[in-house]
Amino acid sequence: MNRWKVVISDYYYKNLDQEKAILASVDAELLSYHCKTEDEVIQAAADCDALICQFAPITRRVIESLRRCKVIVRYAIGVDNIDLKAAEECGIIVCNVPDYSIDEVSNHVIALLLDCCKKLTYMAGQTKLGNTSYTMIEPLSRMEGRTLGLMGFGRIARVVARKMSGFGLNIIAYDPMMDTAAAQQLNVSPVSFQELLAQSDVISLHLHLNKSTEGMIGADFFRKMKKDAFFINTARGAIVKEDELIAALRDGEIAGAGIDVLCSETVPADHPLIGMDNVILTPHAAWYSEEASLALLTKGAEEVVRGLNGEKLLHPFNGIYYAREVE
């Protein structure tokens, strides 16, 4: 009989060989499911010692059913599907994997930014239709000397700032918890929220999704941006009021957008953003490379092992660093 029981509530990876190998080192049995509801998670995980999740709802009801669970790890940076308060009250550590795709996401931000500013996707599409005149992209402004605004200044935003430093942009950032030393080192100017909106030619969103940020970006935000500015979102779709983004793009409140995340993981074929020439839309793929995928699976399983062994966790999200003792 195995010493520990580890449950994966849901996943969409090709296999779980990496997790199995790592968890075998502590004599843990690994059981995997494709849960979509609270009841399914409760049925699968009620007696687990550790839970790994992706999109399944880890609500208060689920957490209170986890009689033996020491640690919950999410296959992601954000933990918006987990009730952190309930987990803290129950003494369960919640961990994320914050550093598995920094290079990939920062590169995706830059790719969307360059595409928006140079109108590459639109131009390529028109060229294939036989329009071979550069006038199709008029007017187009030079990038050098323009202002990139970073909304949030965490790991990914800081790497974006470093990588974009050679483009001759003025880089500014708004973050209530601004790391001023990091900003100074990267030649990034801290600004207020209102200054970010007024000054930026491109705004890139780098916030976690939580109760305070959900739906915080809407019509008023877009009205205060420059008319010729672009909006980039590789963070979380639910931070933005999607219908108000669509209206802002349709009505010319902003010039365009590069979007990797929407409110739903599934994008219907008739979604309004798909048919807009001033939108570059990608399917929540900013994080992906083979190396990032392997790092995510590896680091998630390694964090579970630390929790089961009573070691200090590397990335606890709810202020608990050591797993509880369960009789």
Give the residue numbers annotated as catalytic, written as ranges. 236, 265, 284
CA distances from 190 to 45, 108, 149, 157, 179 (A): 45, 23, 10, 13, 9
Give the integer Cα–Cα distance in Å for 89 and 5.
22
Tokens of residue 131, six digits? 């329009």
3-state secondary structure of 128: helix
Inter-CA distances, 112 with 11, 76, 98, 194, 203, Å: 27, 21, 22, 24, 11
CA distance 231 to 237: 13
Dihedrals φ, ψ of 186, to 5°?
-95, 5
What SS3 class is residue 309?
Answer: coil
- Which secondary structure element, helix H or strand E, spans residue 247, and what is its range? helix 242-250
| CA–CA separation, 147 and 303 (whole Å) | 39
Q: Strand pairing of 230-233 and 256-259? A: parallel
Give the 3-state secondary structure of residue 94: strand
Give yes or no for a contact between 13 and 311, defined as CB atoms under 8 angstroms apart: no
Tell me how long the chain is.
Answer: 327
**Regarding beta strands 189-190 and 28-32, do their DSSP bridges make them parallel or antiparallel, or are they unpaired?**
unpaired
Q: Are 199 and 227 contacting, i.e. CB atoms less than 8 angstroms apart?
A: no
Structure tokens at 174: 């708004």
Rounded to whole angstroms, how far apart are CA atoms 247 and 261?
Answer: 17
Side-by-side strand order, sheet with 50-53? 28-32, 4-8, 50-53, 71-74, 93-95
| Residue that is written with structure tokens 């109108």 in the block | 119
